[in-house]
Amino acid sequence: MFKKLMALPYAMFMLLFVLLPLALILVFAVIDATDGSFDMIANFKELAKEDALGKVIVNSIIAGFSTSAICLLIGYPIAYYLTKKEFNKKGVMIGLFIAPMWVNFLLRMMAAKAVFSVLNIRLGMGTVIFGLSYEFLPYMIMPLYNTIQKIDKSYIEGAGDLGATPTKAFWKVTVPLSMPGILSGLTMVMIPSVTTFAVTEIMSNSKMMLLGDFIYSLKADSLNMAAAISIVLILFMIASMALTNKYDKGNDKGGKLW
């Protein structure tokens, strides 16, 4: 009984600030904004008529995949290196990578924009991708670090005993076993990248729009269409989480070997 009472504040928080907002999004998404009737596809039909949506989707795909790829290429070596360090040195280095998150991200984006201005670099897709990568890199490093750290080292030693070189053991053992961290990191970077709007406004001088900007622009005119796009993003997030769980399965030694 005591444990149930202790869990009550958390349950109320989840109900009010997670489940209720999601339920409202679902309700708005299936209600026709013109007459208030129930229609599951009316808002999606209206979205298809938006001329700017096609370009927004293309920009979002380019920015999302580019940011995810950059964060993975930078974050994986960092996370792998951190697992090889001693605890005291490891704590300092992790702190250095996490420290930027203590500064308001708007200030970081404005500082980056000022640097580009000094260097006379034109703001656009490239600077937006840089800003997104700068913002979400820690979200890639931490799940990778946690997953690589818990890989049973005997697997790698066994691969070496069977004749595998360190490089081959890395690609055949370490990378497959770190797939849960890779997929988790990609999810944590991809979805926020395509749904952000402040970074895009600052790093492109409001010349570009991603899905987050598009949703923000719709909220004043049509909450229903904004909710419809949000439902699509939620479904994408659920699919990503299901894929992550497929490789993890609660294993405390990493993912599965290919």
Instruction: Report d(CA 33, CA 30) in Å as an integer.
Output: 9
- Position 208 scores a pLDDT of 87
Instruction: Report d(CA 112, CA 164) in Å as an integer.
Output: 44
Instruction: Report d(CA 20, CA 14) in Å as an integer.
Output: 8
**Does residue 180 contact residue 248 with C-beta atoms inside 8 Å?**
yes
Average pLDDT over residues 113-122: 92
Instruction: Report d(CA 73, CA 185) in Å as an integer.
Output: 12
Instruction: Report d(CA 206, CA 254) in Å as an integer.
Output: 42
Instruction: Report d(CA 235, CA 189) in Å as an integer.
Output: 16
- Position 30 scores a pLDDT of 86
Exposed, middle or buried by CB within 10 Å (0-12, 13-18, 19+), for 89? exposed
pLDDT tens, residue by residue, 65-78:
999 999 999 999 98
pLDDT tens, residue by residue, 183-196:
889 988 998 898 88
| pLDDT tier, 227 (very low <50, low <70, confident <90, very high otherwise) | confident
Choose among 85, 76, 83: nearest CA to 183.
Answer: 76
DSSP category for residue 38? B
pLDDT tens, residue by residue, 246-257:
766 545 555 555
pTM for the structure as a whole = 0.81
Residue 36: what residue type? Answer: G
Instruction: Report d(CA 136, CA 190) in Å as an integer.
Output: 9
Cβ neighbours of residue 93 closer than 8 Å, sequence gap 6 or more:
82, 85
* Chain position carrying tokens 């009316």: 42
- Position 8 scores a pLDDT of 86
* Chain position carrying tokens 């996490």: 98
Q: Left, alpha or beta for 85 (phi > 0: left; psi -120 to 50: alpha)?
A: beta
Summary mean pLDDT of the chain: 83
Pick from 7-21, 84-98, 112-126: least confident: 84-98
- 184-205 in b/e burial notation, b at 16+ Cβ within 10 A? bbbbbbbbbbbbbbebbbbbbe
Coil, helix or strand at residue 71: helix
pLDDT at 34 over 80: no
Average pLDDT over residues 2-15: 83
